[in-house]
Structure 1
Amino acid sequence: MSVPTPSRALLLWHVHGSWTESFVAGRHRCVLPVNESKDADGRGLMGRKWPRAQEISTTALRGEPIDLVVLQRPEEIDLATQWLGKRPGVDIPAVYVEHNAPRPFAVDSPHPLAARTDIPIVHVTDFNQMMWDNGAAPTRVITHGIADPGLLYTGEIGAAATMINEPCRRWRTVGADLLDPLAERAPIDVWGIDTDTIGECVFSPQVRGRGDVPTARLLPEVARRRVFLHTARWTSLGLSLIEAMFLGMPVVAVASTMAPLVVPPEAGVVSADIDTLGAALEHFIADGAAASAAGKAARDYAAAQFGLERFLNEWDALIDECCQ
């Protein structure tokens, strides 16, 4: 009978809330630094109720028995060295989670840790691993996993739903410029940070900003819309897309980065042609039976590929490997 390996103490920063929520659901004790200003270097839990995670002041970290540092930004190497008195990858094991696709160009983007051989880079998609120049750094891919929110889809509202944070600021990166022309084919409800001011950059009255809503209220509202729209041009695999698939929603998505590889044909339409995307929105809104069938296929695929247990098991294996 195999003996389970011990749980570890992990230092990580609250960078991406949805990814962190999945990560801290594992068996390890997760320590999140907090400072007085609660800025990007010390946000702590940000009010989240995560049983296995705890806030610790940046001034108290030096005496904390940390087993592994989970880096997500280059500057965290210096922060960890300063606060722990140990150098990640040298004095204490570390991994670097790369959430983003390379910018500005995949062909000319060496990763910030490309010259390091002592800190593995963990990419969240195969696309990211391929597109970054990882140099000498060891790499692996651990794709997203989330807790199943349940089959919430009703599709009772004949509109598209999408989730985009800061659409006006991030604009073409997240495909916010596509909302106006797509709204000629179907009304679009947009949730996320700063979507309550989306009228400053997106002018169609058919695009309706719904604001930044807590997940518990957000997902049931999204699931009332007939179809999910994913407009991002250059991003990692958005967790909002995976959430929508788990909800049982049909998907219409821009064919960029990882989206063509995670939305099977029976689950919706993925295209780089805006007329095709618009026609797909019209089709699903007009045909509830087709929308429900595609949504079921989307949910089946998401459950098979993006389950939380698989995600945590893969992370357990890597954590144990790094801490040997």
Structure 2
Amino acid sequence: MSVVSSPRSVLLWHVHGSWTESFVAGRHRCVLPVNRARDADGRGLCGRNWPRTHEVSLCDLYDEHIDLVVLQRPEEIELASRWLGRRPGLDVPAVYVEHNAPRPFAVDSVHPVAERSDIPLVHVTDFNRLMWNNGVAPTRVITHGIADPGLLYRGDVSAAATMINEPCRRWRTVGADLLTAFGQKVPIDVWGIDTDVLSECITNPQVRGRGDVPTAALLPEVARRRVFLHTARWTSLGLSLIEAMFIGMPVVAVASTMAPLVVPPEAGVVSADMDTLSRALTSFVTDGAAASAAGKAARDFAMAQFGIDRFLAQWDDLIDECCR
């Protein structure tokens, strides 16, 4: 067993809230840039209570002791160079976390750090690492990990639940267009950013936008629905799917990207056939016992594969390796 080193000081931008919440739960001191506009380049904590995480204004970053920069967007290489006065990968160790499946092309997209052998590239799924053209960048996979929210599943509402951010804007990418057809079979409650205006792009009254709700209040409400629906066509493995499995929900998922590899047969139905998915939704909504049994299997799998302790241990190893 390797010797545990001292905590490091890590600079990262607040890009993906759920992933960041897991990352900052580790033992390292995390620095989040903040600016007056609180925009994408300086969101800071966004009101989160993360004890080992500190907001630092952009103009004060130059004087901060930073051991490692965690990059998540191409523009952050230039941002870090400008505000730190140190170049990521050259003057200060850096890693790049890629949260997304390759775009715009499934197999021909060259990653922004593909020519950087000095910046390790961390993918969140094996599928993403396989599909991106990673060039000479050293790659590894650290899959998602979350703190166990507990077995919350009740399934007392005979409807499906899903969580999709900006469904009208992201439309086919997140499979929001499929909700109309599925909504002809069962009621569907949709949570996430801009779902309060979902009726502007989906007129089926059985598809109901529930708005953007904090996680603590969201998961108990989602858990009241009978089944979780995952419609994404071309996104990375969403944390919402993992959260649904953790709380004990059965899953019906479109068979795309990583989903077929993280929903075992006993935990639900994964298919590219719309009729198969529709029948599965109807079956789970009408058969509470089958839904509960599949939900238990989903929770068992999620706990075994996506625990936060494994996630943080893998990040500790990589951070120590980069900072040696």
TM over 0.5, shorter chain: yes
Q: CA deviation at 1:2?
A: 6.1
Give the partner amino acid of 2:282: E
1:58 maps to 58
Structure 1 CA distance for aligned equivalents of residues 85 and 320 of structure 2: 23
Q: CA deviation at 1:107?
A: 2.3
Structure 1 CA distance for aligned equivalents of residues 92 and 112 of structure 2: 19
Give the partner amino acid of 1:93: P
TM-score, structure 2 normalization: 0.99
Q: 1:1-324, aligned counterparts within 5 Å?
A: 3-324=3-324
Structure 2 CA distance for aligned equivalents of residues 175 and 74 of structure 1: 26
TM-score, structure 1 normalization: 0.99
Task: Note the alpha carbon deviations across 1:277-319, whole angstroms, 9 max, x for none.
Answer: 1100000011111000000000000000000000000000000
Identity of aligned residues (%): 79
Gaps of 5+ in 1: none
Structure 2 CA distance for aligned equivalents of residues 192 and 84 of structure 1: 34
Structure 2 CA distance for aligned equivalents of residues 190 and 261 of structure 1: 24
Structure 1 CA distance for aligned equivalents of residues 308 and 135 of structure 2: 30
Structure 2 CA distance for aligned equivalents of residues 18 and 107 of structure 1: 27
Q: CA deviation at 1:108?
A: 1.7
Q: CA deviation at 1:106?
A: 2.1
CA spacing shift, 1:282–1:63, aligned 2, 3 Å: same
Q: CA deviation at 1:3?
A: 4.1
Task: Note the alpha carbon deviations across 1:238-279, whole angstroms, 9 max, x for none.
Answer: 000000000000000000000000000000000001111110
Runs of 4+ in 1 over 2 A off after TM superposition: 1-4
Give the partner amino acid of 2:188: I
Aligned length: 324
Structure 1 CA distance for aligned equivalents of residues 174 and 116 of structure 2: 31
Gaps of 5+ in 2: none
Tell me how large the CA RMSD over aligned residues is: 0.8
Q: CA deviation at 1:203?
A: 1.2
Structure 2 CA distance for aligned equivalents of residues 125 and 161 of structure 1: 24
